Structure 1
Amino acid sequence: MIKTASTGLLAIEGCEKVVTSTFPWPIYDEQDVQAVADLVRTGQWGNPDCAGAVAEFEQQFARYCGSKYAISCVNGSVSLRLALIACGVRPGDEIIVPPYTFIATASVVLEVNCVPVFVDIHPDTYNLDPAAIEAAITERTKAIIPVHFAGLPCDMEAILDIARRHTLRVIEDAAHAHGAEYKGQKLGSIGDAGSFSFQSSKNLTSGEGGMVITNDDALYQTMNSLRNVGRLPDGQWYDHFNPGCNYRITQLQAVLLSQQLTRLEEQTRIRNENGLYLDSLLENIDGITPLSRGQVEIRHSYHLYIFKYDKATFGMLSKKEFVAMLLAEGLPCSSGYPHPLYKQPVFQEKNWLCYALPDSVDYSTVYCPVAERACADEAVWIFQQAMLGTRSDMDSFADAIRKIQQAVNQ
Structure 2
Amino acid sequence: MKTINRRNFLKASAIAGAGLTLAPNLTFAQGKQSNNKPALLGGRKSSYGFSRWPIYDRTEEKALLDVLHTNKWGRLNGTTTAKFEAAYAKIHGTAHSLAVSSGTSALYTMFGALDVGPGDEIILPVYTFVASYNVVVLNYALPVLIDTDIETFQIDAKKIEQAITPQTKLLMPVHIGGSPADLDTILDMGKKHNLPVIEDACQAHLAEWKGKKVGSFGLGGAFSFQSSKNLNCAEGGAITSDSKEFIDQCYTFHNQGQGGTGTSYATGSGTRGTNLRLTEFQAGLLLAQMARLEQQARTRSENASYLTQLFNDIPGITPAKLYKGTTNSAYHLYMFRYHQSEFAGLSRERFIEALSAEGVPCSTGYGQMNSSDYVLGLAKNKHYLKIYGEKTMKEWVERNQCPQNDKLTKEQSLWFTQTMLLGDRSDMEKIAEAVRRIQKFAKQLKK
TM-score bracket, shorter-length normalisation: over 0.9
- Residue in 1 that maps onto 2:9: none
CA RMSD of aligned residues (A): 1.8
How many Å separate the matches in 1 of 2:437 and 2:65?
47
Of 171-180 and 316-325, the range deviating more from structure 2? 316-325
Q: How does 1:74-153 map to 2 (within 5 A)?
A: 74-153=101-180
In structure 1, the partner of 2:5 is none
- 2:331 maps to what in 1? 302
Residue 361 of structure 1 corresponds to 393
Task: Tell me which amino acid in the other structure corresponds to 2:67.
Answer: L
Q: Is the 8 A contact 2:73 2:281 kept in 1?
A: yes
1:48 corresponds to 2:76: yes
Q: How far has the Cα of 1:48 moved from its partner?
A: 2.8
Distance 1:96 1:57, change over 3 A: same
Q: Is 1:225 the counterpart of 2:252 in the alignment?
A: yes
2:45 corresponds in structure 1 to 17
Unaligned runs of 5+ in 1: 1-6
* Structure 1 runs (4+) greater than 4 angstroms displaced: 238-242, 353-358
1:381 lines up with 2:415 in the alignment: yes
| Aligned counterpart, 2:425 | 391
CA contact (8 A) 1:178 1:301 kept: yes
Cα displacement (A) at 1:43: 2.7
Counterpart of 1:348 in structure 2 is 376
2:97 alignment partner, SS class: strand
The code of the aligned residue for 2:382 comes to: W
Query: Cα–Cα, structure 1 residues 8 and 296, in superposed 2: closer, same or farther, change >3 Å?
Result: closer
Q: Distance in 2 between matches of 1:218 and 1:385?
A: 38
Q: Secondary structure at the match of 1:143?
A: strand
CA apart distance, 1:358:
4.2
- Deviation of residue 276 (structure 1)? 1.1
* C-alpha distance after superposition, 1:110-151 (max 9, x if no partner): 111210001111121111111111111111111111110101
Residue 353 of structure 1: how far off its partner (Å): 5.4
Q: For 1:203, which of 225, 230, 243 is the aligned residue?
A: 230
- 1:389-410 Cα offsets, whole Å, 9 max, x none, are 1111111111111111011146
Aligned residues: 401
Counterpart amino acid of 2:131? A
Residues 253-272 of structure 1: CA distance to partner in whole angstroms, max 9, x if unpaired?
00000011111111111111
Residue type at the aligned position of 1:299: N
Change (3 A) 1:354 1:25: farther
* Distance (whole Å) between structure 1 residues aligned to residue 389 and residue 155 of structure 2: 24
What are the superposed Cα offsets for residues 319-375 of structure 1, whole Å, 9 maximum, x if unpaired? 1211121111111321112x2211232321223354555431235433211211221
The one-letter amino acid of 2:348's match is K
> 1:205-256 CA deviation, whole Å, 9 max, x = no partner?
00001111111122111100111111112451x6566421111111110000
In structure 1, distance between residues paired with 2:76 and 2:356: 45
Q: Which moved more, 1:16-25 or 1:98-107?
A: 16-25
Q: Secondary structure at the match of 2:90?
A: helix
- Following the alignment from structure 1 to structure 2, what is the Cα–Cα distance between the partners of residues 267 and 375? 29
Shift of 1:38: 2.5
Q: For the Cα contact (< 8 Å) 2:50–2:419, is it kept in 1?
A: no
Q: Is the 8 A contact 2:203 2:332 kept in 1?
A: yes
Confirm or deny that 1:168 pairs with 2:202. no
**2:432 matches 1:402:** no
Q: Indicate the SS of the match to 1:81.
A: helix
SS of corresponding position for 1:27: coil
Indicate the residue corresponding to 1:194 in structure 2.
Answer: 221
Q: Are 1:263 and 2:292 an aligned pair?
A: yes
Query: What SS is found at the alignment partner of 2:160?
Result: helix
Task: Answer whether contact 1:93 1:140 (CA < 8 A) is retained.
Answer: yes
- CA distance in structure 2 between the aligned counterparts of 1:112 and 1:217, rounded to whole angstroms: 24
Give the counterpart of 1:250 among 263, 276, 279.
279
Cα 1:292–1:48 shift into 2, 3 Å:
same
Contact 1:73 1:210 in 2 (8 A): yes
| Alignment TM-score, normalising by the size of structure 1 | 0.93
Structure 2's unaligned 5+ residue stretches are 1-34
Q: CA deviation at 1:82?
A: 1.1
